[in-house]
Amino acid sequence: MIQVDVFSERPLAGNPLAIFPEAEGLTDEQMQRIATEMNLSETTFVTPAAAGGDARVRIFTPAMELPFAGHPSIGTACTLVSDGLVAPQEPVTEVTLELNVGPTVVDVTVRAGQAVAGVVHQGPPAFGEDIPRDVAAAVLGLQESDLDEELEPRVVSTGLSYAIIPLRNTRSLAAAWFNFDLLPEFERRYAELYPFALTGDEEPFAEARCFGPLSGIVEDPATGSAAGPLAAYLARAGILGPGAARVLAQGRHVRRPSRLTLSVTTEGTRIVDVLVGGGVVPVMTGELTF
């Protein structure tokens, strides 16, 4: 087992990830029980590639398997390169992971033979329905006046769907907390919560939080699979320009400060790729016995 911190350039920050690079022979039930034991936002299990990629990777939260997630994709790809399971090539090594959502490409930055960062390509976004402002505010325990005056809450997906909820400022973001009575019906109707606020600064230009208690994650320190939909949302709103890389902050409220880079690629007015990146730092190795 290898543990890394993703979306950080220093240890003990960002989002921790446990990786089992030799998971052949484990059953689905064993993978889920191991992920529950690790009790991190996600745990990945690596087996040999089956469809022409570099590795087959499965992603589990403490409660369920996910078809895609951002920080597990980046952290696993970087670990495969650093451990030599994928031959490192400087300055960038392209790694293709076979996820349940399909082949997923991660561009891994390599320095002195070691992976130090990655960028996951999430593909074109899918924009879902608008969310009523009163419903979005209530599920976060806020008032409608806490929402951004110009931007509307909306469901967006780049592999996983999230309820992108724009708030007035970082004070409203700090005050947000899920209403557990309303949350199950909200997630059934819309998606998992990802409120954010623009900071008014050059860097980070926005801050976000991710609440997922129904999937076993009360508050996630950094959420690549939600940052992608947010990037697409901001690009459509004209806030994130094509090709521009901007920094998103997350994790401050759980004392795991994280920095995620967001960018989009367009063809005309159409978003054809969403990219989310960040640093990766190894912090632990170990052996699981059971």
What torsion, rounded to 10 degrees, do the Cα atoms 2, 3, 9, 11 define? -120
Backbone phi, then psi, for 188, in 5-degree steps?
A: -65, -40
Annotated catalytic residue 42:
yes
Q: Which two tokens stand for residue 120?
A: 């996951």
Query: What CA–CA distance (Å, rounded) separates 164 from 96?
Result: 28
Q: Which two tokens stand for residue 136?
A: 């979005």
Query: What CA–CA distance (Å, rounded) separates 65 from 144?
Result: 34
The widest CA-to-CA distance across the chain, in whole angstroms, is 54
Query: What CA–CA distance (Å, rounded) separates 240 from 265?
Result: 11
Backbone phi, then psi, for 229, in 5-degree steps?
A: -55, -35
Among 24, 42, 149, 203, the one annotated catalytic: 42
Q: Count other Cβ atoms within 10 Å, centred on residue 88.
A: 18
Sequence-distant contacts of 24-30: CB under 8 A, at least 24 apart: 24/48, 28/65
Q: Which two tokens stand for residue 149?
A: 């005056």
> DSSP letters of 175-211?
H----TTTHHHHHHHS-EEEEEEE-SSSSS-EEE-EE
Q: Which residues are catalytic?
A: 42
